[in-house]
């Protein structure tokens, strides 16, 4: 519209808002334009890496990750046990039908209670957790959970989601920040916080899915999946401090137990068969 002098007036969109919209649109397009079907999880996933790229990334990251936990453990017998059970979990389950190359590592850190997986099949367990496990079934449960992370391509998904979140957060900061408005800085900080919380939510969901896959892989390899419940109880006992679950990347052990029990009941509605390895 124009006034009598011919000057246009009405709502104007600043260049800052236009640029923010472009950044947001590009981030959304980049995320949703890359999708693939995972035949093991039977899910459509948004990832922008190939399995070969995941494998290469995992192999490149493995030495540095191992060094953070004291390097390889000086325990040939323990490493052999980890290798044996890990190999069974791959060779006897659908995990072996994936394009990944699995390697299982026992790390020397005696204090840190942890196990984790890198993309492409690099799987680690610390001596701090290994020494708390009493049975083959418990070790199988831990390793099966980590195999689940690899098969479900959680690392690749997280990288894609982080790129999306960073793009949208950046767009929100651009749109909210006004150098002439002191209060806009707090709006920008809030946008960053929201992005972080969204990322944490994805991590918790990944852990629960890996637990479900862990039940599947452990039992398919002949191990009693109920041993995973014992692992959760161990983790609960050794935890020295607690963070409220909503702000934790891992669900609390008792919450995970509920999901593990549901996964076991769904796989074995008539009860877990006798004779499985404890």
Residues in CB range of 273: below 8 A, 6 or more apart: none
Residue with tokens 């499985």: 276
What does residue 185 show for φ and ψ, rounded to 5 degrees? -65, -35
Neighbours of 208 (CB within 10 A): 17
Side-chain-side CA neighbours of residue 186 (13 Å): 3
Active site residues: 146, 211
- What's the CA gap between 276 and 223, in Å, rounded? 5
* Backbone dihedral angles phi then psi of residue 247, each to the nearest 5 degrees: -105, 25
Rounded CA-CA distance 22/16 in Å is: 10
């Amino acid at each position: 519209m124009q006034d009598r002098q011919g000057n246009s007036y009405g709502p104007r969109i600043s260049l800052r808002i236009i640029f923010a919209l472009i950044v947001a649109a590009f981030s959304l397009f980049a995320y949703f334009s890359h999708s693939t079907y995972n035949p093991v999880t039977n899910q459509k996933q948004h990832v922008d890496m190939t399995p070969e790229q995941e494998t290469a990334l995992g192999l490149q990251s493995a030495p540095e990750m191992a060094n953070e936990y004291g390097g390889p453990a000086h325990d040939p017998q323990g490493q052999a046990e980890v290798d044996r059970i890990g190999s069974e979990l791959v060779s006897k389950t659908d995990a072996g039908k994936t394009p990944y190359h699995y390697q299982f590592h026992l790390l020397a850190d005696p204090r840190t209670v942890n196990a984790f997986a890198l993309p492409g099949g690099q799987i680690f367990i610390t001596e701090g957790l290994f020494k708390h496990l009493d049975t083959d079934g418990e070790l199988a449960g831990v390793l099966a959970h980590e195999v689940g992370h690899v098969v479900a391509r959680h690392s690749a998904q997280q990288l894609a989601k982080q790129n999306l979140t960073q793009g949208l957060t950046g767009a929100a900061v651009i749109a909210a920040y006004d150098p002439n408005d002191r209060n806009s800085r707090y709006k920008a900080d809030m946008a960053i916080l929201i992005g972080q919380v969204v990322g944490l939510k994805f991590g918790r969901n990944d852990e629960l899915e890996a637990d479900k896959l862990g039940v599947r892989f452990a039992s398919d390899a002949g191990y009693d999946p109920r041993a995973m419940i014992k692992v959760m109880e161990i983790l609960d006992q050794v935890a020295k401090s607690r963070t409220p679950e909503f702000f934790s990347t891992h669900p609390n052990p008792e919450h995970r137990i509920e999901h593990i029990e549901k996964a076991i009941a769904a796989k074995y509605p008539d009860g877990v068969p006798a004779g499985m390895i404890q």
